[in-house]
């Protein structure tokens, strides 16, 4: 994962870029902003720079002040426990390397291909399964992008392109519009899916120009957001999601089940209700991908299944997400039953 590049702070830059330029990159500054004493937490906080902290203020504003166990803070605060090597945890836990069809292009499942136009994100989630991904290979441009688009044009069995990363909404509106337009020229493609956390952590990214790109695109836009806790769906995020819905985008959510964040039936039920209110289908609840550095987030399968039973008892079936795990080489996500 690379920190975002080229985030101008001049007045001419769009609001979301100016906000991103002011994101927290040092734990003491974030902790002071939250009214927490960083000296008392210094023993646990990691200052290594290989997967540096990155937290937009809009996301920090949704955290509880004065609470070191805040579930949003826990997702982004680098801890020394990430350095612990744990058996079964790997640098590429879902075997992205084996799924590579071209630089920046992966195919794991029938009919879909995943294009990684950038390695940058607006937030660095400590449990990210791509935290060690070699992003130098992503972000195809120029001749490499031509090659990737030709690969897609030749693959007539693919009808859906997934833009992932990194976070595809880290591209400028103009770059995204151009990429979208080139993809729309491939006749056998029908849907354009984006996996993004930006409407949640930096809602100002959902600009009028982005919505125009989606509204005018021949491909049906599908946006899969990533929210793990109901506190992530504040007024600005709900407004951003409403803008996306208004331009014809179909919205889904995928969450990761995380110890100390959302491993609680009441929290998961509140998240399901908040997503429904925001017009988002509560689609997947992922078991953690066992990536090096994230073992302290793992929720055992038996606990996950108990939580699902509690959710089914509390919610109508259409609000209950599918509990799944990604298994390398499997033809789809694997449901946990």
Site residues for ligand SF4 per CB under 6 A: 1, 121, 123-125, 128, 130, 165-167, 197, 226
Nearer residue to ligand SF4 within complex by CB, 163 or 315? 163
Assess contact for 312 and 300: CB atoms under 8 A.
no
What letter does residue 63 receive in the DSSP assignment?
Answer: S
Please enumerate in sequence order all residues whose Cβ is within 8 A of that of 240, keeping only pairs 6 or more positions apart, or say none: 199, 203, 204, 205, 206
Assess contact for 112 and 162: CB atoms under 8 A.
yes
Cα–Cα distance measured from residue 211 to residue 176, given in angstroms and rounded to the nearest whole number? 11
Cα–Cα distance measured from residue 23 to residue 18, given in angstroms and rounded to the nearest whole number? 9
Nearer residue to ligand SF4 within complex by CB, 195 or 265? 195
Total number of residues shown for the chain: 337
Q: How far is the CB of 297 from ligand SF4 (least distance, A)?
A: 12
Question: Using alpha carbons only, what angle is made at residue 115 by residues 113 and 118, rounded to the nearest 5 degrees?
Answer: 165
Nearer residue to ligand SF4 within complex by CB, 265 or 294? 294
Q: How far is the CB of 146 from ligand SF4 (least distance, A)?
A: 25
Nearer residue to ligand SF4 within complex by CB, 145 or 225? 225
Nearer residue to ligand SF4 within complex by CB, 138 or 282? 138
DSSP codes, 100-158: EEETTEE--STTEEEE----B-SS--TT-TTTT--GGG-S--HHHHHHHHHHHHH-TT-
Q: How far is the CB of 197 from ligand SF4 (least distance, A)?
A: 4
Q: How far is the CB of 130 from ligand SF4 (least distance, A)?
A: 5
- Token pair for residue 148? 């990737």
Residue in the block written with tokens 């302290």 = 296
Q: How far is the CB of 102 from ligand SF4 (least distance, A)?
A: 20
What letter does residue 83 receive in the DSSP assignment?
Answer: G
Nearer residue to ligand SF4 within complex by CB, 105 or 121? 121
Q: How far is the CB of 286 from ligand SF4 (least distance, A)?
A: 10
Cα–Cα distance measured from residue 80 to residue 30, given in angstroms and rounded to the nearest whole number? 17
Nearer residue to ligand SF4 within complex by CB, 46 or 167? 167
Q: How far is the CB of 128 from ligand SF4 (least distance, A)?
A: 3
Nearer residue to ligand SF4 within complex by CB, 254 or 282? 254
Cα–Cα distance measured from residue 11 to residue 18, given in angstroms and rounded to the nearest whole number? 8
Q: How far is the CB of 196 from ligand SF4 (least distance, A)?
A: 8
């Amino acid at each position: 994962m690379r920190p975002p590049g080229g985030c101008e702070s001049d007045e001419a830059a769009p609001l979301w870029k100016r906000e991103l330029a002011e994101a927290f990159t040092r734990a003491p500054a974030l902790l002071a902003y939250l009214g927490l004493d960083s000296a008392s937490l210094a023993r646990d906080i990691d200052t290594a720079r290989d997967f540096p902290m990155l937290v937009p203020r809009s996301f920090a504003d949704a955290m509880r002040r004065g609470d070191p166990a805040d579930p949003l803070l826990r997702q982004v605060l680098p801890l020394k426990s990430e350095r612990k090597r744990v058996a079964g945890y790997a640098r590429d836990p879902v075997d992205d390397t084996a799924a590579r069809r071209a630089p920046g292009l992966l195919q794991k499942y029938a009919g879909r291909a995943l294009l990684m136009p950038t390695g940058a994100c607006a937030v660095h989630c400590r449990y990210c399964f791509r935290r060690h991904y070699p992003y130098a290979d992503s972000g195809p441009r120029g001749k490499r992008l031509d090659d990737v688009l030709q690969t897609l044009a030749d693959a007539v069995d693919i009808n859906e392109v997934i833009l992932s990363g990194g976070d595809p909404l880290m591209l400028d509106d103009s770059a995204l519009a151009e990429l979208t337009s080139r993809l729309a020229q491939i006749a056998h493609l029908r849907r354009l899916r984006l996996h993004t956390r930006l409407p949640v952590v930096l809602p100002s990214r959902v600009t009028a120009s982005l919505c125009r790109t989606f509204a005018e695109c021949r491909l049906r836009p599908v946006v899969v957001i990533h929210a793990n806790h109901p506190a992530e769906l504040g007024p600005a995020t709900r407004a951003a999601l409403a803008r996306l819905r208004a331009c014809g985008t179909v919205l889904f959510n995928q969450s990761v089940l995380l110890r100390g964040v959302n491993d609680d039936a009441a929290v998961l039920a509140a998240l399901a209700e908040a997503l429904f209110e925001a017009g988002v289908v509560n689609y997947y609840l992922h078991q953690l991908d066992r990536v090096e550095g994230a073992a302290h987030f793992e929720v055992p399968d038996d606990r996950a299944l108990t939580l699902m039973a509690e959710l089914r008892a509390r919610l109508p079936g259409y609000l209950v997400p599918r509990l799944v795990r990604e298994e390398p080489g499997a033809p789809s996500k694997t449901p946990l039953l």
